[in-house]
Structure 1
Amino acid sequence: MKLVQKATAKWLAASLATVLMVTAWGGDQRAAAFTTSNADAAMSSFVNVFYDASAKYFYTNSDHQIQAAHAYGPNGGLYTDFWWEAQLWETVMDAYQRTGSSTYRTMIDDIYTGFNAKYANMVDNQFNDDLGWWALACLRAYELTGTQEYLNRGSFLFDHVYASWDTTYYGGGIWWRADAMNPATNASSQKNMATNAPMVMAAIKLKNAYNNSNYLTKAQQIYSWIQSKLINGSKVNDHVEGTGAGTVKDWDFTYNYGTYLGAATALYQATGTSSYLTDANNAANYVINKMTSATTLLYEGENDAPGFKMIFARNLNQLRVQANQTQYLTFLQQNATQAWNHRRTSDGIIGSDWTAPTGSSYVQSLAAAAGTSILQFVPADNFTGNIAGNGLYEAENARRTLVSAAGMVNESLQTGFNGRGYVAGWNTNGTSLNFYVNQNAAGSKTITFRYAAAAGNAGRYVKVNGAVVTNNLTFTGTSNWSTWNTVSVTVALQAGSNTIELGYDTSKGNNNYLNLDQMYGL
């Protein structure tokens, strides 16, 4: 995965922290999942739209066109790039593991053949995380099929990536790139969660395959370094860079938490050591409590970012199954239902945001695979309906509209906020926060926003499904930026999907700054 893509996804994901409180929510909020036929249909649609059987490879986009947004991969970006194809291969494995279908069993072999035809020498790729994803996928393919070639390739790739383990900088860890292992001379040098945590999981798979405890030793070595350098309490950080002791970047991505809890789960299964299970549960609960929108995994952006929640959900399911952590079943089922309910009916494809309907534009294969996969590995309970969730809408996890780079920043400097922070410095015309709210029944609801307004009274408009509810909802001034207040408004919501837009328009209200915190109470 490329660094610029990481930074872009981080900017998209970490901007909002309003509290949207919806009180007297009503409606059926029980756990809802989907049917087995839904899972079958989702996988069939995914294959029909994205898989090129002649090339034995997946297209990058649903329109089979090269798009500038992600023009990486074979044939100028017509087909998916290195790490995307590994994830899509695992989506096929998810379907095979659920169904035992000979179609998906054949596809496992075919995709491997097609990938090798496009990338004759995998290790020409200098990104160790890309190679690591293929090592992990190969070893899973071996576990599912018993094909020796997959074990051989997975072992080879693990050894190749592990050769970038180094103690000269940061006390250990595997470098992100094999051609950038010296921060004094290369600004791209870093050691990150995306490279190191998957190698823990791969090492445990190799330990099981070969019955060789040396792989367990390596897994524990890598994990210990992760603990010492990238973990800060409940926070799972992204990477360390720079000279000397290095600078830790604390970007929040669901895939960092997902790979970390996957590593911890693998070690717990291998050793029975309870601290690993504690680590896995802490990471899982951080995301569930702080990186969701009414219990649905947040939208983190496009390109690489939609695959992040697939990795989190897949490893959370492994934690549920392998460590008997049944408390996560309802969460996983609700997310699977959200993904299915918001599919595009014209072609059955699921988009990058599971809380809102998939639009009419092209959809990227990695985004579509995320929704398809969760329907494969989460057991269906045969209930169909909408997911109202728990009513908690953190603004940092909402979607926002920007007309400029200024006017909305994510911040956590003031005290008393909820979640991961709040939206700060909001005073730019044309900006808005969009909350996607799903309901089981139509009706009037009271929504409440939690905010701070130390600059004085601030005005914002409220729209529901594009219709203006109020042109100038007044957020009464607060004594300082650490004093939080609430304001409420009654809105009419329809059954199914709704968009509540809180926006800034200088022609309709006060120009003062506003900090928006959290949502809770539905």
Structure 2
Amino acid sequence: MKWQAAVFLALLGGSVTPALAAPWKKLRPKMAIDAMLSFYNQTDGRWSTEAPWWITGNALQATLDYMAKTGSREYIPQAVNTFTKQSAPLPWWPSGGGDFRADSTDDTGWWSLASVRMFDLTGDQQYLTYAKEDEAYMYSFWSNDTCQGGIIWDIPSRSYKNAISNELYLKLAASLHNRIPGDTFYLSRAKQSWTWFKNSGMINGDNLINDGLSEASNGICSNNGGQTWTYNQGVILGGLAELYKATRDRSLLETARRIADAVTTSAFLSPNGILTEPCEADDSCGSDAPAFKGIFVRNLDELQDVLPGNPYRKYLDVQTTSAYNLDRNSSTGNLYGLKWAGPFDEIEIARQTSAVSLLVAAL
């Protein structure tokens, strides 16, 4: 078959004509997911038990997104196993009571959005119930005492209003509304969340989102000037896309486009056109940040789905071409490193989840 010849040529470093490129492009995310399964622990349902807990929720999301896009159901057994094993009370946070209630609101947010996607794939109400219970848990940490609202990040200390927890909550509430006929409850909360967020000051003058807010002694908060992590720029795009589906308010898309364009044209976040995490320059990304870029492109793709003309298709294609050619492990060909501009550095689960989300976004 012609596409098999294209795969063979690509493996040898040869060229692939445009007419033959599409089937090969569809194979890349599957091959990356199959490689990611080398991290999977059937016993506890985690992709790398040693990695931060939320990374498994993100790997699960990337795998579910692939199935949603392609119609495949190949990885449903792993997904069911992960939900079953990891919905129990957590050893380090048994007071959460299970159902993905963790000691930081953003951890819960990642799992709740994966639950929404699993509901989309299966129609099983249990997964929507997980998402509803997690929404209630996250919202229980909404506080008007500081910053005039917003959800706190760290539950034990009841501290820090940050971007990611509030972006995840916005996306979750809007997603629930869009899947529950006749809902007004979750729509009201999604609108409340967005009104607070857009007025919080976290969106800076460059249309980028800093990490969070600093609180003054009088309870007034302002942008803390923290790092503009790529996932902070990403999740808000998916959240605004979901809220737009609910309201058809085009101002939401205008705001999202400004943020997305700020990233894709930024000499800091997209030097030479390749998405780059700020921590890559000094190799300080740790165990969390290597997953962030995949989250950005996942949500950029979700925004693109509600925009005419696929405005970010070329940007996504540039990322996949660079990562595939410059950031793959030479011995396996299906494991990816940190820097999509290359060179490949090391095998690690957060890096791989990011690459999977990129390859899925480009489908």
* 1:180, distance to aligned residue in structure 2 (A): 2.6
Find the partner of 2:128 among 138, 144, 151: 151
* 1:149, distance to aligned residue in structure 2 (A): 1.1
- 1:131/1:161 contact within 8 Å kept: yes
Q: How does 1:281-360 map to 2 (within 5 A)?
A: 281-290=257-266, 291-299=269-277, 300=279, 301-324=285-308, 326-341=310-325, 342-347=327-332, 348-359=334-345
SS at match of 1:255: helix
In structure 2, the residue matched to 1:452 is: none
Moved more, 346-355 or 234-243: 234-243
> Which amino acid in structure 2 is aligned with residue 227 of structure 1?
K
Q: For 1:369-400, what per-residue CA distance to the aligned partner results, in whole angstroms no more than 9, with x for missing partners?
A: 11122112312xxxxxxxxxxxxxxxxxxxxx
Find the partner of 1:43 among 17, 33, 39: 33
Q: How does 1:20-419 map to 2 (within 5 A)?
A: 35-47=25-37, 49-59=38-48, 78-116=49-87, 119=90, 121-122=97-98, 125-181=102-158, 189-211=159-181, 212-229=183-200, 230-233=202-205, 234-243=207-216, 244-250=219-225, 251-290=227-266, 291-299=269-277, 300=279, 301-324=285-308, 326-341=310-325, 342-347=327-332, 348-359=334-345, 361=346, 363-379=347-363
* 1:118, distance to aligned residue in structure 2 (A): 7.5
Q: What residue ranges of structure 2 are gaps of 5+ in the alignment?
A: 1-17, 280-284
Query: Which structure ranks higher in relative contact order (CA pairs < 8 Å, sequence separation ≥ 6)?
Result: 1
SS at match of 1:176: strand
- 1:136/1:199 contact within 8 Å kept: no
> Which amino acid in structure 2 is aligned with residue 192 of structure 1?
N
| Cα 1:256/1:105, change in 2 over 3 Å | same
- 1:55/1:114 contact within 8 Å kept: yes
* 1:197, distance to aligned residue in structure 2 (A): 0.9
> Which amino acid in structure 1 is aligned with residue 331 of structure 2?
S
* 1:36, distance to aligned residue in structure 2 (A): 1.9
> Which amino acid in structure 1 is aligned with residue 153 of structure 2?
W
SS at match of 1:232: coil
CA separation in 1, counterparts of 2:235 and 2:70?
25
> Which amino acid in structure 1 is aligned with residue 271 of structure 2?
S
* 1:124, distance to aligned residue in structure 2 (A): 6.1
SS at match of 2:311: helix
How many correspondences in the alignment? 321
> Which amino acid in structure 2 is aligned with residue 344 of structure 1?
N
SS at match of 2:161: strand
CA separation in 1, counterparts of 2:87 and 2:148?
35
Moved more, 273-282 or 331-340: 331-340
The structure where strand makes up a greater share of residues is 1
Moved over 6 A (4+): none
> Which amino acid in structure 1 is aligned with residue 314 of structure 2?
T
CA separation in 2, counterparts of 1:219 and 1:325?
27
- 1:335/1:354 contact within 8 Å kept: yes
> Which amino acid in structure 2 is aligned with residue 333 of structure 1?
D
> Which amino acid in structure 2 is aligned with residue 45 of structure 1?
A
SS at match of 1:204: helix
- 1:97/1:144 contact within 8 Å kept: yes
Q: For 1:106-136, what per-residue CA distance to the aligned partner results, in whole angstroms no more than 9, with x for missing partners?
A: 2221221232358374466220111111111
- 2:336/2:352 contact within 8 Å kept: yes
- State the Cα RMSD in Å: 2.1
CA separation in 2, counterparts of 1:294 and 1:315?
21
* 1:141, distance to aligned residue in structure 2 (A): 1.2
In structure 2, the residue matched to 1:485 is: none
CA separation in 2, counterparts of 1:100 and 1:115?
25
> Which amino acid in structure 2 is aligned with residue 270 of structure 1?
A
CA radius of gyration, larger in: 1
CA separation in 2, counterparts of 1:278 and 1:216?
20
| Cα 1:333/1:124, change in 2 over 3 Å | closer
- 2:316/2:361 contact within 8 Å kept: no
CA separation in 2, counterparts of 1:282 and 1:97?
28
CA separation in 1, counterparts of 2:191 and 2:249?
12
* 1:265, distance to aligned residue in structure 2 (A): 1.5
> Which amino acid in structure 2 is aligned with residue 50 of structure 1?
F
SS at match of 1:92: helix
CA separation in 2, counterparts of 1:117 and 1:268?
34
- 2:301/2:361 contact within 8 Å kept: yes
CA separation in 2, counterparts of 1:145 and 1:339?
32
> Which amino acid in structure 2 is aligned with residue 205 of structure 1?
S
| Cα 1:179/1:57, change in 2 over 3 Å | closer
